[in-house]
Amino acid sequence: MRPRFLQPGVCAVATLLGRAAGACLDGGSQDTINQLLQQGGPNTVVSLCPGATIPITDSIVFTAPGQEISTEGYPTDDTRATIIIQPGSNATVAIRGNWQDRVRVLNVQIDGNRPNAGPLGGDALLEMGGGTTGQTVSHAVVKNTRSWSCLHLIASGQDDNPCRNATITFNTVGPCGTEGVDETGRGLWADGLSIECTATTVTDNSVTGATDGGIVIFGSPGSTFLRNTITSSDTQRQFGAINMVDPNYNGNYSGVVVSDNIITGTGNGFIELGIGMGSQVWSNPHPLNNFGPTTVTNNIFRGNVGFSIVINGWEDGLSVTGNDVSHIHSPSSDFADASSCGSQQQAAFAANRQLVVYNPGAGTPLTLQPDFYELPANASNWLCLGHPLPTQQSFAPGALSVNAQTSTVVLLQNFRVQVQGDGNLVGYDTAGGEWTVKWASSRYSSNCGSDGSKCEVDFGGDGNLVLYDAQGPVWDSGTSGRGKTLVFYNAAPWVVVMGEEGQTLWTIADLS
């Protein structure tokens, strides 16, 4: 598109009333837009041309109440202008609208460009809220955040001037983050919408491929969350669809309504927790209950969702009715694995329980639809599912080396093999959250080092399976030069070294 030149502060700027007079902005950078906002003052509208791309290396910042960034003509298709973070920059925030009343982001695409610019810690891609009223983000595309969230409405920290009365509607959000951690162990996941704002309307948004929470409700008393669709990635794990687990606003969820949302896990992806409610449900339980009165009605759950609604750690009013879990994929073990869960979570998972409550942890008054399963005992942390595990795992020569500090050799369906600090290599059945020894090398060493790092199980490049300690080999499979594949199974014969033709050369039973 041919760039149109523009007089900063004149052509692209129009007040709400005089919008038709302005030409649109067809290029530039954050500096172009920031100059327009600074010079234009309150109610400045920066109107981007349809199809325009604005590469940015730093944030665009609203500087006065009532300012707006939008695409001319307010299209809702892919002609919406794109604001995109450039590789090589350290920006995580594309637009910052904190502490400005009634600012608006309308009908634009905001791309954090994570696949090219890389993940980076920092504030959310669209960072709004603070002590304000009347902010709006509508008909925007918000995707590929580099940081922890695609869109964040932050609280103000001021009781007499809370974040309030924001409108987040008809946005297309995601993907946001990826599952797993980076090489330093930092989580790569991200939220879709992170809402910490009172009396706010979050409706008709579509959030696809968020990997932390699809919509995270941080307290936010008086806010409504209606008709949103939350869909997992086709391949990745998503922690939660709608989270009501955090203690912001001292756990105040009074007046919050979560209704008519559609939550779907698809493909080989899945959502661990559809709607988690209460202080005991997430992986970071905290002692004080969240509180209502709160309403969760007529939400629909479909496909790969591990647990649709779990309630524990609530008080002062909860009504959960009319939610439909009839389209959940069953059995849950087709799409997820509960090996890392506690025993009650494993039991509920094995029985495909979708609506789960710990009644003493749900408070009064309590109205629940009849199909809830009542937990017999208190259970915290329902964020414990992983992808399905295989029943066997194979290694080529040179491909396996694990020491007793790392410990886990393989994780299989209901089974774990680990090398321990006394040199023992052990296979455990883990079904039901109870570990039962199924086999062990029963060869020990007192030379593993204080952290276990000196004892190592190794399928060498020569095809020999060896357990080493600080002084050398403790035992081996005697298959040097012949072993071509090492296989661990979750059933007998448990551990096998195979030769060229797939024939068994050695099994763990040969050690005894």
Ligand X SMILES: *[C@@H]1O[C@H](CO)[C@@H](O)[C@H](O)[C@H]1NC(C)=O
Minimum CB–partner distance for residue 88 and ligand X (Å): 6
Judged by CB under 6 A, the residue of 22, 278, 361, 463 near ligand X is 361
Rounded to whole angstroms, the Cα distance separating 335 from 255 reads 35
CB 358 within 8 A of CB 311: yes
45-48/13-14 β-pairing:
antiparallel
Q: What is the SS3 string spanning 144-163?
A: CCCCCEEEEEECCCCCCCCC
In 3D space, the residue among 264, 282, 387 whose CA is nearest the CA of residue 345 turns out to be 282
Alpha carbon distance 332, 352 (integer Å)? 6
Contact assessment for residue 50 and residue 77, using Cβ atoms and an 8 Å cutoff: no
Nearer of residues 66 and 463 to ligand X, judged by Cβ: 66
Q: Phi/psi at 65 (nearest 5 deg)?
A: -60, 150
How far is Cα 312 from Cα 280, in angstroms, rounded to an integer? 5
User: How far is the C-alpha of 232 from the C-alpha of 226, rounded, in Å?
Assistant: 18
- Please give the residues from 368 up to 387 whose contact with ligand X meets the rule CB under 6 A: 378, 380
Q: Distance between CA atoms of 296 and 486, rounded to whole angstroms?
A: 51
Which range touches ligand X (CB under 6 A), out of 8-16, 84-92, 364-372, 446-454? 84-92
* Binding status of residue 252 toward ligand X by CB under 6 A: yes
Distance between CA atoms of 280 and 311, rounded to whole angstroms? Answer: 8
Polymer length in residues for the chain: 512
Neighbour tally for 181: CB within 10 Å: 11
Minimum CB separation from ligand X for residue 362, in Å?
9
Rg value, the chain, Cα: 27
113 binds ligand X (CB under 6 A): no
Region near ligand X per CB under 6 A, out of 43-51, 83-91, 296-304, 438-446: 83-91
Token pair in block for residue 485: 């594949």
Q: Choose between 95 and 409: whose C-beta lies nearer to ligand X.
A: 95
Q: Does 86 bind ligand X (CB under 6 A)?
A: no
- The residue (of 81 and 197) whose beta carbon lies closer to ligand X is 197
Q: How far is CA 137 from the centre of its chain?
A: 22
- Which is nearer to ligand X, 287 or 472 (by Cβ)? 287
Q: Please say which residue, 43 or 380, places its beta carbon nearer to ligand X.
A: 380
Encoded tokens for 131: 């002590």
* Selected range binding ligand X among 206-214, 280-288, 424-432, 485-493, rule: CB under 6 A: 280-288
Coil/strand/helix, residue 105: strand
> What is the SS3 assignment for 451?
coil
One of 39, 76, 90, 161 touching ligand X (CB under 6 A) = 90
Candidates 29, 38, 167, 407; binder of ligand X (CB under 6 A) is: 167
Tokens encoding 352: 């495909």
CB closer to ligand X, 220 vs 430? 220
Nearer to ligand X, 367 or 378 (CB): 378
Decide if residue 157 touches ligand X (CB under 6 A).
Answer: no
Report the nearest approach of ligand X to the CB of residue 73 (Å).
21
Omega prior to 3 cis, within 30 of 0: no
For ligand X, the closer CB: 198 or 418: 198
Nearer of residues 58 and 510 to ligand X, judged by Cβ: 58
Task: Give the three-state DSSP class for 407.
Answer: coil
Residue 294 binds ligand X (CB under 6 A): no
Name the residue with the smallest CB distance to ligand X. Answer: 134
Two tokens, residue 138: 């509508």
By CB under 6 A, residue 89 contacts ligand X: yes
Contact mark string toward ligand X, 214..233, x via CB under 6 A:
-------xx-----------
Of 445-464, which residues contact ligand X (CB under 6 A)? none
Q: Which is nearer to ligand X, 51 or 222 (CB)?
A: 222
113 neighbors 87 (Cβ within 8 angstroms): yes
Q: Does 88 bind ligand X (CB under 6 A)?
A: yes
* Least separation in angstroms between CB 254 and ligand X: 4
Under rule CB under 6 A, which residues in 131-150 are in contact with ligand X? 133-134, 136
Q: Which is nearer to ligand X, 138 or 424 (CB)?
A: 138
Q: How many residues bind ligand X (CB under 6 A)?
A: 21
The site for ligand X (CB under 6 A) is made up of 88-90, 102, 133-134, 136, 165, 167, 198, 221-222, 252, 254, 280, 285, 287, 360-361, 378, 380
